[in-house]
Each structure stands twice: as structure tokens, then as C-alpha cells.
Amino acid sequence: MRHLRRATLPVLVAAFLVGSLLLGGCTRHASEEELKQLNDLKAEVASLEKQIAEREGAKANLEKQIAAKNDKLKWCADEQQAVKQRLQNWK
């Protein structure tokens, strides 16, 4: 009985050890290639986000320029009217 107890303990411990290693090793992990694919995708997304920020800036700038040009056009039309009126009284 005493021999049996002596033999059981190491067996249990060894089983625990092997079991724990096996448990960890059973999970499926992404391969290096797959991780590279994911990283490339992330980099592409980051690049697209940067391009969009640039385009949005350019668009806002163009909209601002067009608003200023509209003001200039309105000024020019008003100026034409004013000059025509002054010309009527000009000798």
C-alpha cells in the first residue's frame, strides 16, 4: 500500500505536467503569413485614412476658394451696375 502511494504521486504530477502542456498547445493560432496579411491590411487602411484626410482638406479648400470667387463675381456685377449709373451722369 505504501509502495502504491509512493508510485501514484509522481504519476499524477507527470500527468498534470503533460496535460498542461497539451492544453496550451491545442489552441489554433494564426500563422506568420496570416499575421503579415493582417498587418498589410491594417497599413492599407491607415494609408487610405491619411489620403481621405488630405482629400477632405483639399475639398474644403476648394469650397472656400469657390465661395470667395462667388463673392468676387457678385462684386463685379454690382460694380458694372454702379459704373453704368455713373456713366449716365458723366460728361
Partner 1 sequence: MKLQKIIFSILAASLVLYGANIAFAQEKMTKEEWEKQIQEYTAKRNDLKAKLDKLDADIKALTAQSASKDADFAKCEAELYALVGATRAEVEAYRAKVNALEGKVTELTRLSNQDLWNRKGEVDGAQTDLNGLRMSKISLLTEFWEKLTSIQQKIDGLKATLAAIANTMERWYTVGTWSRDRDCLWNIAKKKDIYDDPFKWPKIWQSNRDKIRDPDIIQPGWKLKIPPVAPLTKEEKAAANRHYRKKAG
Contact yes or no for 38/30 (Cβ under 8 A): yes
Contact 3, 11 (CB under 8 A): no
Based on the shown chain and the rule CB under 8 A, indicate whether residue 36 belongs to the binding site for partner 1.
Answer: no
The minimum distance between CB 40 and partner 1, in angstroms, equals: 10
83 interacts with partner 1 by CB under 8 A: yes
* Rounded Cα–Cα distance for residues 91 and 32 (Å): 88
2 binds partner 1 (CB under 8 A): no
Cα distances (angstroms) measured from residue 53 to each of 42, 45, 58, 65: 17, 12, 9, 18
In the complex, the residues that contact partner 1 under the rule CB under 8 A are 6, 9-10, 13-14, 16-17, 20-21, 23-25, 27-30, 34-35, 37-38, 41-42, 44-45, 48-49, 51-52, 55-56, 58-59, 62-63, 65-66, 69-70, 72-73, 76-77, 79-80, 82-84, 86-87, 90
